Amino acid sequence: MRHTRSLENDGFRALVCVDAGRVELRSRRGTEMGSAFPEIVAGAGQLPQMTALDGELIVWGAESRLVFERLQYRLARRGTWLKGVEGAPPSRGRPGT
């Protein structure tokens, strides 16, 4: 039996599925998150059909620190961009276990 270890990050677990030209981004509980993270959906659209990824969405802030509050804000706004966050770097997906 092979064991792997993954880093614990301060983010949201996310599942990406690409099938029949559709991309779905969902939380581990099945909540739709694509509208809050359109750049992740767009990037996943370039993956081959029948692809599934299980990972964690994280946001890097200043000094290479994770900023969990930005993720919470994005979900709360569900993709609605405010002027205060337009200059913020997009979230990045990180493959998980």
Domain assignment present for residue 6? The answer is: no
Q: Other CB atoms closer than 10 Å to residue 26's CB: what's the count? A: 15
Domain assignment present for residue 47? The answer is: yes
Domain assignment present for residue 5? The answer is: no
Structural domain including 36 reads 12-95
Per DSSP, the chain holds a count of helices (H) and strands (E) of 2, 4
Domain assignment present for residue 62? The answer is: yes
Tens-place pLDDT, residues 22-71: 999 999 889 899 988 999 999 999 999 999 999 999 888 887 788 888 88
Give how many domains the chain has, as a whole number: 1
Domain assignment present for residue 51? The answer is: yes
Q: How confident is the model at residue 2 (pLDDT cuts 50, 70, 90)?
A: low
Domain assignment present for residue 2? The answer is: no
Residue 87: CATH number of its domain? 3.30.470.30
Domain assignment present for residue 24? The answer is: yes
